[in-house]
């Protein structure tokens, strides 16, 4: 199982907070959240590897600082494209499972990730953790990595559930 963290460009981060934070404040806020998620994922002993899916140079530097590898997504097309590209790369390398957590999920813990890993069944399988509002998806474990199309952003949780049901995952 690989841990994957999709990251947008830091200069595009937290755009919906533009009315309350200046651009540099949004970037620092997002960077702190990303480092929190990355540090937590690097502390999960069950991961074979943790990778950051991005084209953002600043995110690449942070990933390497923490010992994660970088899966280049070629161009910044958003989190969904970054996750799709990562799934394809992992599948091509013979890696059968991944757990995806966006870099801005607040206060995720090692224990929470371990619970998801324990609940995740053998392939084919999809385990989905909703955001607090039950609209978004905060975490998805998927085996095999290309078993289902994923999408991130607002209102992704119920479409993920529907996809899992349709595919028998």
The one-digit pLDDT tens for each residue of the chain (169 residues) are 999 999 987 766 655 666 667 778 888 888 999 999 999 999 999 999 999 999 889 999 999 999 999 998 676 677 888 899 999 999 999 999 999 999 989 899 999 999 999 999 888 999 999 988 888 899 999 999 999 988 887 788 998 989 999 999 8
Tokens at residue 61, please?
């530097």
pLDDT of residue 102: 93
Q: Which segments of 57-147 does DSSP mark as H helices, in order?
A: 57-66, 79-92, 110-119
Tokens at residue 159, please?
């479409």
pLDDT of residue 81: 83
Q: Please tell me the total count of domains within the chain.
A: 1
Question: Which residue range forms the structural domain that includes residue 136?
Answer: 2-167
The CATH number that applies at residue 138 is 3.90.550.10
Helix-then-strand count for the chain, H and E? 5, 6
- DSSP annotation string for 79-94: HHHHHHHHHHHHHHTT
Q: Tell me the whole-structure pTM to 2 decimals.
A: 0.90
pLDDT of residue 19: 67
Tokens at residue 101, please?
């957590």
pLDDT of residue 12: 66
């Amino acid at each position: 199982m690989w841990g994957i963290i999709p990251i947008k460009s830091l200069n595009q981060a937290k755009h919906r907070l533009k009315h309350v934070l200046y651009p540099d404040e949004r970037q620092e806020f997002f960077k702190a959240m990303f480092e929190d998620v990355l540090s937590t994922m690097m502390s999960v002993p069950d991961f074979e590897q943790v990778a950051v899916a991005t084209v953002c140079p600043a995110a690449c530097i942070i990933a390497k600082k923490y010992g994660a590898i970088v899966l280049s997504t070629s161009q910044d097309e958003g989190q969904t494209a970054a996750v799709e590209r990562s799934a394809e790369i992992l599948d091509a390398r013979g890696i059968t499972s991944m757990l995806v957590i966006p870099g801005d999920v607040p206060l995720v813990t090692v224990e929470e990730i371990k619970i998801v890993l324990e609940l995740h069944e053998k392939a084919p399988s999809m385990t989905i953790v909703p955001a607090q509002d039950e609209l978004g998806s905060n975490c998805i474990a998927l085996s095999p990595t290309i078993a289902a199309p994923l999408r991130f952003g607002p209102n992704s949780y119920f479409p993920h559930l529907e996809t899992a049901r349709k595919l028998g995952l």
